[in-house]
Amino acid sequence: MRKKDISVDRAPNHGDERAASPVAAVALDFPDGHEVPAHSHHRAQLLYALRGVLVVGSASGQWVVPDNRGLWIPAGVEHWTRMVGDVQVRTLYVEPDSAPHLPRNCCVLAVSPLLRELILAALSISGDVTPDSRDGRVLGLLLDELREDPVLPLHLPLPAHPRLRALCQAIQLQPGASGGLADWARRANVDTKTVQRWFFRETGLTFGQWRQQARLLAALERLALGDSVLAVALEVGYSTPSAFSAMFSRQFGRPPSDFQRPRQPIRP
């Protein structure tokens, strides 16, 4: 892990320390596969992937955050993070009461060119900041740009029901498995109607919708590692790359090739 810059927040994970300004920015670089274990912050957090892909999980679900996207995490929410590819993270720690419009739930946000530049500018701000100073105006505009819309469909809800959660984890490990609802219900030793009822009650999605989202988010990870669209399509259960590309584009608004990265050289 390579630490680039750090603002006034010296202890983001512990205690009741308050930053001198409503926003503190940190820049960190991580290698592929690096994991940050479960933790929480007393302030809200925006994880912004300048490069690479972040996989972030909490008790309620999992998010896949490609580059030029940000994950908003409210204060006190325990979460873990895994890096896919070499990742450059720019993190904001935000006082929860610093703006009334800040999102109340975890969500993935689009990062506009303006917000991107404000995040980068915040890295050089430290110490006491007054609202009428240049730095104060930069941070004030940054807070204005942190808005929930548009929320991107990069979230996979995870159920609390232990048997359904185990089934979901098995699907995530085998996103390309060809079995249908009846096959997965049989694995859980329950009937199909029960599984459908569990899925909708626990996730708000049908089995088919949940599995499709799991496959597409798994595809995002593989594309970030440099796998070809053809290989990814087959790996996550699509018979043709065209069918995969059509579904991917419909869900995320961009073709899979936009998220594909050159394959990283194997380190000795």
Domain 158-259 fold: Arc Repressor Mutant, subunit A (1.10.10)
CA max distance for the chain: 64
The full length of the chain comes to 268
Tokens 């050289």 -> residue = 265
What digits encode the pLDDT tens for the residues 127-182? 888 888 999 999 999 999 987 656 778 999 999 999 999 999 999 999 999 889 99
Range name among 11-20, 26-35, 218-227 with the lowest pLDDT average:
11-20
Q: What percent of the chain has pLDDT over 90?
A: 64
| Tens digit of each residue's pLDDT (9 = 90 or more) over 94-114 | 998 888 888 888 998 888 899
Asked if the model's pLDDT at residue 265 lies above 80, the reply is no
Angle of helix 162-173 relative to helix 207-224, nearest 10 degrees, comes to 40
**Sorting pLDDT into bands at 50, 70 and 90, what band is 25?**
very high
First to last CA, the chain: 18
* Residues of each domain in the chain carrying CATH 2.60.120.10: 2-145
* 43 has pLDDT over 80: yes
Cα 59 from Cα 106, distance rounded (Å): 11
**Nearest Cα to 94, choosing from 149, 159, 23?**
23
- Has residue 39 got a pLDDT over 90? yes
What value does the mean pLDDT take over residues 51-72?
91
Buried b (16+ CB within 10 A) or exposed e, 94-118: bbeebbeebbeebbbbebeeebbeb
Residue 54 is which amino acid?
L
Please tell me the predicted confidence (pLDDT) of residue 75: 95
Q: Which of 119-123, 208-212, 249-253 has the lowest mean pLDDT?
A: 249-253
Mean pLDDT of 233-262: 91
Q: Would you say residue 69 has pLDDT above 80?
A: yes
Indicate the average pLDDT of the chain.
87
Give the CATH number of domain 2-145; options: 2.60.130.10, 3.40.390.30, 3.40.50.410, 2.60.120.10. Answer: 2.60.120.10
Q: Is the model's pLDDT at 60 over the cut of 70? A: yes
Within 8 A by CB and 6+ apart from 70, the residues are 46, 47, 48, 49, 108, 109, 111, 115
> Which residue in 62, 93, 102, 92 sits closest to 80, CA to CA?
62
Q: Is the pLDDT of residue 46 over 60?
A: yes
- CATH 1.10.10.60 residue ranges for the chain: 158-259
Q: Which of 115, 150, 112, 143 has its CA nearest to residue 129?
A: 143
Q: What is the DSSP letter of 143?
A: H
pTM, to two decimals: 0.82
Report pLDDT for 2: 46
- The alpha helices in the chain, defined as continuous H runs, are 113-122, 134-145, 162-173, 181-187, 192-203, 207-224, 229-235, 241-252
For the residues 231-241, what does the mean pLDDT come to? 95
| pLDDT attached to residue 262 | 63
Q: What is the pLDDT of residues 26-38, one digit of tens each?
A: 999 999 999 999 9
pLDDT of 148 reads: 65
